[in-house]
Structure formats: structure tokens, C-alpha cells
Amino acid sequence: MIFENINYWFYFFIIPIFIIGEFIYIKYKNYKLKKFGEINLIKENLLYENEKIYHIKWILYYFALFFLIISLLRPQYGAMVERIQQKGIDVIVALDVSESMRAEDIKPNRLLKAKSEIKSLINNLKGDRIGIVIFSGSAHLLCPLTHDYNAAKMFVDTIDFDMISRPGTSIASAIFTAIKAFNNKQTKHKTLILITDGEDHEQAVLEAIEEAKKNGIIIHCIGIGGSYGVPIPIRDAQGNIVKYKEDKAGNQVLTKLDILLLQKIALETNGSFYNATPDEFEIKKIYSQIENMDKKILESKQNIRHNDIYQYFLIFTVLFLIIETFLPIKLFASQKYNKFIEK
């Protein structure tokens, strides 16, 4: 027999505390009776006290308390092996970390908003695996598919603009990297969530879309940014804006959300497109669609489950309390003795 809640063992100290308390109470009662007169005469003439029943009732209390504490320790006996299968969907998030994500048309900026969206998604996952790809001019698998949501959040916290040195925005590279990260030949149970402002400067997106479709990957797109052009601030180490990004000709670069491209990606892969919103409603919508997908077995393991037997000790607790309740009252006092007690 083992005990699941062995840390509760200190409750056994309650029993000797009660015994000491009872002993002190008896001594105090006899002390009061002694002041009134000879104890034996008082017991003989003023009250009828069945001391055996009195002690039996307290012993029953102690037994009830003992078995109650045993049940709190949650005793277990025997064991059975059960196989647990964890089902879910493989979800990879591809996050744009290009310079255009510095734009502040979404506060505090596009990248920080996107990181908040990813954390909201992770908080909604239930048994699904999550992976993270970051991209700008090229793509990199930051976090392989995992069930460890806390680790995934830690990876999200580390994401910054300087993690990929190649400039630009290559959505195609992000999709191809995600395809490799899924790392299986199944043509379902796979979802890619693309979070970007959509400003792709390459022509390979259509090829990447076709490859995603062949692999059964559904792509949901979340657009970060507004539909009108805004400048890209460059900040110093203290967070102060020192200038705005310019092209080679010295003209200020403006960035805006490319809705049409993201809508096309989502449409071609049976996914959906949403603009980022302050309350992140789009994450709930996307996760609702993920929940309705067919699940696959992501992990299968054996678990040893012990059989609880605490309920039998609770039965003894109740039994002793019932017996104590139906025993005669330990003390019958005359009216005169009651007045003495009140004094």
C-alpha cells in the first residue's frame, strides 16, 4: 500500500493534542468539583456519571479521527497499466521579423503585436503540437514541434528583428521551411499560421502554395498592419527614434499590409484570412477551425494508475461516529449541579 498525499502525515499530531486536551479538561472538572465538596459524594448524590461510556465515546472519536487522517493520505493499493493516446493537430506559426514589422500603425509595433497573437494561440491549445518559424529574407525553424507550451512561449519572448540577417520578406521561404518542419508524409492534420504584413518581394510564393497543398497543409493568415503606408522607425538602444528607414535614393520607405496576397494564400490552401484586432478575436476563430479538424495520434504512452482505497477508511470514520452518537449521554446532572456549573 502506498500513500499519494504522504505530506499530510503531520495531521496525526492532532490526536495526541486532543488526548492532552481531554486530560486537562478532566483535571479541571475534578478541581471544580473538589471546591464544591467531596468528589465521591457529589458523584454519588448529585449526578450519575457513567465513566466507562464517557471514555468509550472519546475513544470512538479518536478512532474516527485516525481513519479520517488515513483517508486524507489517499492510500492506494495495486496498480493497473493503461495506454494513453494524445490526439491533436500539428500547428506551426510562421512569424515575419523583417524591418517592415517595426512599423507602429499597430501599437506598440507590428512585431510585438504578432508575438502577443502567438502567445494567445498557445494559451488556447489543448494537446496540439506547436512549432515556430521566423522569417525575413530567409526563414529559420526557431522551435520544432512540441507539446511543451511553456518552452514555446520562451522562444516567442526571444524573437527580435536581428535574428535573421538577410533583409527582405520571403513568405515562400517561410512556407517551405514549415513544410520541412512538419516532417511527415501525411496529407492532413497540419496547419500553418502565417503572421505577416504580406509585403513579399519574391515571386516564389505561388510555388510554395502548391507545395503546401500537396502536403495537405492548411494555411491561415493574420495580417499585421494597416492598408495605408506608414514609415518604419529606427530606434536607438534607449528606444528613441533616431530616423525613419530610407531607400538607396534617400526616400522614406512606407509599408502597408498586402491583403490581396494573404487572402490568396489562405484561399488556395482552404485556410482563412483575418486582420489583427486589439482583442485578438481572430485567434479564437482560427483555433475554432483547428478544433474541428480531424485529430491524429501525436503521442502514445503507458501510464500506471494505482487503485484508490481511501473510501474504505472513510466508511470506518462514519461508522465510529454513528456508534458514538447512539451511545447514552455520558453525563446526567441534577438541577442543583447545573446551577453549580453555571457559577
- List the pLDDT tens digit at each of the 343 positions of the chain: 788 778 878 888 888 888 888 788 777 776 766 666 565 555 555 444 566 777 788 888 889 999 999 998 888 887 766 666 677 889 999 999 999 999 999 988 999 999 999 999 999 998 899 999 999 989 999 999 999 999 999 999 999 988 998 888 899 999 999 999 997 777 778 999 999 998 775 678 999 999 999 999 999 999 999 888 899 898 888 888 889 888 888 889 899 898 999 999 999 999 999 999 988 999 999 999 998 887 776 665 666 777 788 888 899 999 988 988 887 654 444 444 444 444 4
Let me know whether 169 and 278 are in one domain: yes
Kindly state whether residue 94 falls inside one of the protein's structural domains.
Answer: yes
**106 by DSSP, 3-state: which?**
coil
d(CA 289, CA 271): 9
Say if residue 119 is in the same domain as residue 156: yes
Instruction: Give a yes or no: residue 84 inside a domain.
Output: no
Q: Are residues 276 and 154 in the same domain?
A: yes
pLDDT at 50: 60
Q: Are residues 256 and 310 in the same domain?
A: no
Q: Kindly state whether residue 330 falls inside one of the protein's structural domains.
A: yes
Domain that holds residue 74: 2-79+305-342
Do 188 and 249 lie in a common domain? yes
Domain count, the chain: 2
pLDDT at 142: 96
Residue 299 falls within a domain, yes or no? no
- Give yes or no: residues 73 and 157 share one domain: no
**Side-chain-facing half-sphere of 200: CA atoms under 13 Å:** 26
Do 242 and 234 contact (CB within 8 A), yes or no? Answer: yes
Helix (H) or strand (E) holding 49: strand 47-49
Asked, for residue 165, whether it belongs to a domain, the answer is: yes
- 231 and 277 in a single domain? The answer is yes
- The reply to whether 255 and 108 lie within a common domain is yes
- What's the CA gap between 263 and 220, in Å, rounded? 9
Cβ pair 141, 181 in contact under 8 A: yes
DSSP state of 246: B
- Asked if residue 285 and residue 156 are part of one domain, the reply reads yes
Residues 128 and 262 in one domain: yes
Report yes or no on 233 lying in a domain.
Answer: yes
* Pairwise CA distance, residues 266 & 250, whole Å: 36
For residues 61 and 165, membership in a common domain is answered with no
CATH number for position 161: 3.40.50.410
Model pTM score: 0.65
Q: Is residue 315 part of a domain?
A: yes
Q: Are residues 254 and 324 in the same domain?
A: no
Pairwise CA distance, residues 326 & 328, whole Å: 6
Question: Which pLDDT score is estimated for 189?
Answer: 80
Q: Is the dihedral of CA 300, 301, 307, 308 positive or negative?
A: negative
300 occurs within a structural domain: no
